[in-house]
Amino acid sequence: MEHVAIYPGSFDPVTNGHLDIIERGLAIFDKVIVTILINPNKQALFTLEERLEMLHKSMENFKNVEVDTFSGLLVDYAQQKKAHAILRGLRAVSDFEYEFQMALMNRRLRREIQSVFLMTGLRWIFTSSSIIKEAARFGGDISGMVPDCVKTKLEEKFLCKLG
């Protein structure tokens, strides 16, 4: 049986912290499906198309990864994709409460799907899409925290916002 995991998130934009989780997820699972969650209540900086493009570009050299989008119930999507696990990353205790709640709800909805958590690599403990956007907005150097294509996109985005 092929072991497939879904790695869901906003990826607004993808960071090196996300890539680390995907890479390590691939050491456990045969395939990881990175899925952008379409959440109309969440205001994103990048459009869905832009986020997809950045994910594709960032993972050009990754094998056994699929990039997708979804809206609706995550556990239904997982079943549709024949995935048995939901992969998530944990940075700090502050991530824990929300993740715990979500994992318990997902387990209640579909017991056969397991939530798997990977602790962040020490290097990425303070890396989040939102903090990177804040820094980039005011011209802070974000090299090494995001893939190069994301850095360029962020610079373009804020340049046209300021201009």
To ligand ADP, the closest distance from the beta carbon of 163 in angstroms equals 28
CA distances from 62 to 59, 81, 124 (A): 5, 19, 19
CA–CA separation, 127 vs 143, rounded Å? Answer: 12
Letters for 115-134 (x = contact with ligand ADP by CB under 6 A, - = none) are -----x---x--xxx-----
**CB 46, CB 157: distance < 8 Å:** yes
Q: Residue count at the site for ligand ADP (CB under 6 A)? A: 16
Nearer CB in complex with ligand ADP: 81/103: 103
Binding ligand ADP by CB under 6 A: which of 18, 31, 84, 151? Answer: 18
Please report whether residue 153 would count as binding ligand ADP according to CB under 6 A: no
Check residue 147 for interaction with ligand ADP (CB under 6 A): no
Q: Verify binding: residue 21, ligand ADP, rule CB under 6 A.
A: yes
Q: Would you say 21 and 118 are in contact if contact means Cβ atoms under 8 Å apart?
A: yes
Non-local (6+) Cβ contacts of 73 within 8 A are: 109
